[in-house]
C-alpha cells in the first residue's frame, strides 16, 4: 500500500507538469507575439497565472525530486498537486479570471509550507540515508535504484533541473531591459562628456579673454602714467614761465616809453606845425573842387 501510494503521488506530480505545459502551449498560441499587445489581450491574466504556476512547479521540483530520484521518499505534498489541478482547471474554464495573486494565494501558502517543512524536518533525516555515490555519477553510468522513480530517464531529470522556457524568456527580457537602460546611460554619459568639453572650452576662452583684458589694462595704466608725467612737466614749465614774465616785460615797456619821450620832445611841435597847413590846404582844395560841381548840378536841374 505504501509503495502504491508513493507511485500515485509521483505520477500525479508528473501528470500535473504535463497538463500545465499543455495549457501553457494553448494560451501562448492564442497570444500575440508582441509584449505590448499581450498586456491588453483578453488572455493576459491566463498567461500570468500559468507563469506563476510554472515557477511554483520548478521550486517544488528542485526541492523534492532529488530525493525522489534517489528512492529515499516520494512527492509528499499531495494537497499541492490537487491545488495545482484546481488552478489549471479554473484557468481553462473561465474567460475572465481573477488576478494572479488572488487565484494563487492558497497554492503559494501550502507549497511554501510544504517546502519549509520538508527542508527543516525531513531533509536532515534523508541526508543520512543518501548513498555514497553522487547523483552525477548515477547520471553518467550507474543504474538507477529500483522504485517509483525508475520510469524517469536521465534526459527527463536533466530537463527538470534545467530552467524552463518561461524563466529563460523572463531572463532574456530582463537582459533586454538592462541593455536598453545601459544604452540610455551611455548616451547620457556621452552627452555629459560633450557638455563638459564645451564648458572646458568656454572656460579656456574666458581665461584668454581675461589675459587679454589684463594686458590692455596694463597698457592703459602705462599710458596714463606717461600722460600724468607729461602733465606734471607742463604744469612745472608753465608755473616757471609765469613767475619770470613780469620782471622783463616791465623794464622793456619803461625803456621804450622813456626813449620816445626823450626823442620826440622837440619834434612834436614842428610836426604839428608842418601838418597843420597841409590839412588846411587840402580842405580848401576840396571846397573849391566841390563848388563847380554843385553849380553844374544846379544848372542841369534848372
Q: Quote the pLDDT of residue 271.
A: 43
More confident residue, 229 or 178: 229
Same domain, 127 and 204: no
Quick one: average pLDDT of 19-42? 81
Answer yes or no: is 58 within a domain: yes
- Helix, strand or coil for residue 244? helix
Q: Quote the pLDDT of residue 240.
A: 86
Answer yes or no: is 126 within a domain: yes
Cα-based torsion angle of the residue sequence 120, 124, 127, 129 in order, rounded to the nearest 10 degrees? -130
Same domain, 94 and 41: yes
Q: Which of 116, 114, 118, 152 is nearest to 135 (CA)?
A: 152
Same domain, 74 and 186: no
Neighbouring C-alpha atoms within 13 Å toward the C-beta of 50: 25
With cell 487565484, the residue in question is: 103
More confident residue, 66 or 82: 82
Quick one: average pLDDT of 181-201? 82
Answer yes or no: is 60 within a domain: yes
Answer yes or no: is 44 within a domain: yes
Q: Which of 242, 207, 70 is nearest to 142 (CA)?
A: 70
Q: Quote the pLDDT of residue 266.
A: 46
Band of residue 220 on the pLDDT scale cut at 50, 70, 90: very high
Quick one: average pLDDT of 185-200? 83
Q: Quote the pLDDT of residue 301.
A: 54
Answer yes or no: is 193 within a domain: yes
Q: Quote the pLDDT of residue 101.
A: 84
Q: Quote the pLDDT of residue 19.
A: 93
Band of residue 140 on the pLDDT scale cut at 50, 70, 90: very low
More confident residue, 151 or 199: 199
Query: Total domain count for the chain?
Result: 2
Same domain, 189 and 82: no
- Asked which of 2-6, 124-128, 134-138 is least confident by mean pLDDT, the reply is 134-138
Say whether pLDDT at 85 is over 50. yes
Distances (CA, A) of 145 to 3, 12, 153: 14, 20, 12
Q: Quote the pLDDT of residue 250.
A: 46
From 212, 233, 254, give the residue that closes a domain.
233
Same domain, 22 and 148: yes
Note the pLDDT tens digit of each residue in 233-277: 999 888 888 877 654 444 444 444 444 433 444 444 444 444 444
- Asked which of 51-55, 81-85, 208-212, 246-250 is least confident by mean pLDDT, the reply is 246-250
Same domain, 118 and 181: no
Say whether pLDDT at 290 is over 80. no
Same domain, 127 and 28: yes
Same domain, 36 and 156: yes
Domain that includes residue 125, residue range: 2-162
More confident residue, 97 or 222: 222
Same domain, 21 and 135: yes
Q: Quote the pLDDT of residue 117.
A: 93
Q: Quote the pLDDT of residue 245.
A: 62
Band of residue 173 on the pLDDT scale cut at 50, 70, 90: confident
Q: Quote the pLDDT of residue 12.
A: 92
More confident residue, 199 or 252: 199
From 133, 162, 191, give the residue that closes a domain.
162
> How many whole angstroms separate alpha carbon 16 and alpha carbon 53?
11
Query: Is residue 244 within 8 Å of 237, Cβ to Cβ?
Result: no
Same domain, 158 and 86: yes
> How many whole angstroms separate alpha carbon 123 and alpha carbon 62?
13
Answer yes or no: is 259 within a domain: no
Same domain, 143 and 25: yes
- Helix, strand or coil for residue 131? coil
Answer yes or no: is 133 within a domain: yes
From 217, 233, 249, give the residue that closes a domain.
233
% of the chain surpassing 90 pLDDT: 23
Answer yes or no: is 238 within a domain: no
Same domain, 114 and 15: yes
Quick one: average pLDDT of 95-106? 86
> How many whole angstroms separate alpha carbon 107 and alpha carbon 81?
9
Distances (CA, A) of 121 to 45, 80, 112, 117: 36, 18, 14, 6
> How many whole angstroms separate alpha carbon 163 and alpha carbon 57?
11
**Per-residue DSSP letter, 145:** P
Amino acid at each position: 500500500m505504501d509503495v502504491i501510494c508513493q507511485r500515485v503521488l509521483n505520477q500525479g506530480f508528473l501528470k500535473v507538469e504535463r497538463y500545465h505545459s499543455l495549457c501553457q502551449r494553448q494560451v501562448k498560441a492564442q497570444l500575440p507575439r508582441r509584449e505590448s499587445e499581450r498586456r491588453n489581450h483578453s488572455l493576459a491574466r491566463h498567461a500570468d497565472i500559468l507563469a506563476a504556476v510554472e515557477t511554483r512547479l520548478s521550486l517544488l521540483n528542485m526541492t523534492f525530486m532529488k530525493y525522489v530520484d534517489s528512492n529515499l521518499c516520494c512527492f509528499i505534498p499531495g494537497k499541492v498537486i490537487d491545488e495545482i489541478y484546481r488552478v489549471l482547471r479554473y484557468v481553462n474554464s473561465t474567460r475572465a479570471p481573477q488576478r494572479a495573486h488572488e487565484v494563487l494565494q492558497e497554492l503559494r501558502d501550502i507549497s511554501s509550507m510544504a517546502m519549509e517543512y520538508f527542508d527543516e524536518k525531513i531533509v536532515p533525516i534523508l541526508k543520512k540515508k543518501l548513498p555514497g555515490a553522487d547523483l552525477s555519477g548515477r547520471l553518467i553510468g550507474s543504474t538507477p535504484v529500483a522504485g517509483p522513480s525508475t520510469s524517469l530517464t536521465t534526459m527527463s531529470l536533466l530537463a527538470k533541473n534545467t530552467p524552463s522556457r518561461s524563466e529563460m524568456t523572463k531572463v532574456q527580457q530582463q537582459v533586454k531591459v538592462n541593455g536598453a537602460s545601459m544604452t540610455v546611460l551611455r548616451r547620457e554619459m556621452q552627452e555629459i562628456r560633450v557638455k563638459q568639453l564645451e564648458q572646458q572650452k568656454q572656460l579656456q576662452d574666458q581665461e584668454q579673454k581675461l589675459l587679454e583684458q589684463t594686458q590692455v589694462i596694463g597698457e592703459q595704466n602705462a599710458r596714463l602714467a606717461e600722460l600724468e608725467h607729461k602733465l606734471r612737466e607742463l604744469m612745472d614749465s608753465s608755473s616757471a614761465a609765469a613767475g619770470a614774465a613780469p620782471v622783463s616785460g616791465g623794464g622793456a615797456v619803461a625803456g621804450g616809453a622813456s626813449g620816445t619821450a626823450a626823442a620826440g620832445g622837440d619834434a612834436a611841435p614842428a610836426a604839428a606845425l608842418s601838418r597843420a597847413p597841409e590839412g588846411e590846404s587840402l580842405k580848401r582844395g576840396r571846397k573849391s573842387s566841390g563848388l563847380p560841381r554843385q553849380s553844374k548840378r544846379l544848372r542841369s536841374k534848372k
